[in-house]
Amino acid sequence: MHYDAIIFDYDGTIVDTESYHYHAVDHLIKHHYAVALDLETFFLTYCGLDDRAVLKLILKSLGKTFTEDDIDRLMREKKSYFAELVRSSKIKTFPGMLPLIRLASQQRIPLAIATNSSRDDFDITFEQVNNGRLAQRIKTTVTADDVTHKKPHPEPYLSAAKKLHINPERCLVFEDSLSGIHSAKAAGMHVIALTTSHPKEELHEADQVITDASNINLSELLEKGIPHGQPS
């Protein structure tokens, strides 16, 4: 199997920003409900889900009643605090990712990002990563605001493939979350999972599992593919 395009998840795959999302949501829940969120539980349960889904699940777990207007208000507050955290920090990337993207761009491989982040959350970090060079190399982006159904539904990845004008089966995906892996597999794509958010044993739905992208041979990967259903 050879691949004609690469689609990346964003938070937890390219950029180390999942902790920013945690701190923003934790701040929100502490402020309104006087409850602290456990970091490990957040990563294992909510990582990879969109803000609306995360907030609804948390409030349900706390036994709280809410309306869609309540969720909208909480989402606005979360976005505001997330933006504050990002503006006061330097966004870090995961090992091997920027060199991989740079090489793929130089080889004119079609590239895209499919993320469950809102457009606002995504844009505020995307433009500053690698001094804006990431945004120069990846022009096609799909956020939670661009689709009707978020991950784990396949729509985000199918939408990215459609924008690239590439058959979904010819797209290779890099992901870190369980919902993202399920989304990409449901879209008919092969998935390489990174152990940045979940331990290897939980990523069994992926076609391959790696700790980081530093040792990837891009040409060989695109030409020969990865063994389907054989995590390593």
**pLDDT, tens only, 124-144:** 999 889 988 999 999 999 999
28 — phi, psi (to 5°)? Answer: -65, -50
Q: Where residue 232 falls among pLDDT bands split at 50, 70, 90? A: very low
Q: Where residue 229 falls among pLDDT bands split at 50, 70, 90? A: very low
Residue 53, token pair as written in the block = 């889904």
Average pLDDT over residues 163-179: 97
Q: Check whether 190 has a pLDDT greater than 60.
A: yes
Superfamily of domain 5-17+91-224: HAD superfamily/HAD-like (3.40.50.1000)
For residue 207, the Cα-to-chain-centroid distance in whole angstroms is 17
Question: pLDDT > 90: what percent of the chain?
Answer: 84
Which pLDDT value is given to residue 231? 47
Average pLDDT over residues 90-96: 93
Separation CA 109–CA 101 (nearest Å)? 9
230 — phi, psi (to 5°)? Answer: -125, 75
Please, where in the chain does CATH 1.10.150.240 lie?
18-87
CA atoms within a 13 Å half-sphere pointing along the CA-CB vector of 134:
24
Tell me the CATH number of domain 18-87, given options 1.10.1740.10, 3.90.700.10, 1.10.150.240, 3.40.630.40: 1.10.150.240
Which pLDDT value is given to residue 47? 85
Strand partners, 173: 7, 191
Please, where in the chain does CATH 3.40.50.1000 lie?
5-17+91-224
Burial of 215 (0-12, 13-18, 19+ CB in 10 A): exposed
Which pLDDT value is given to residue 89? 86
Average pLDDT over residues 25-36: 95
User: Can you list the pairs that 151-154 forms with residues at least 24 positions away whose Cβ atoms lie under 8 Å?
Assistant: 151/48, 151/49, 151/50, 151/114, 151/116, 151/177, 151/179, 151/180, 151/182, 151/183, 152/178, 152/179, 152/180, 152/182, 152/183, 152/186, 153/183, 153/186, 154/183, 154/184, 154/186, 154/187, 154/188
8 Å CB contact between 178 and 205: yes
Q: For residue range 56-81, list pLDDT tens digits in order.
A: 999 999 999 999 999 999 999 999 99
Which pLDDT value is given to residue 227? 55
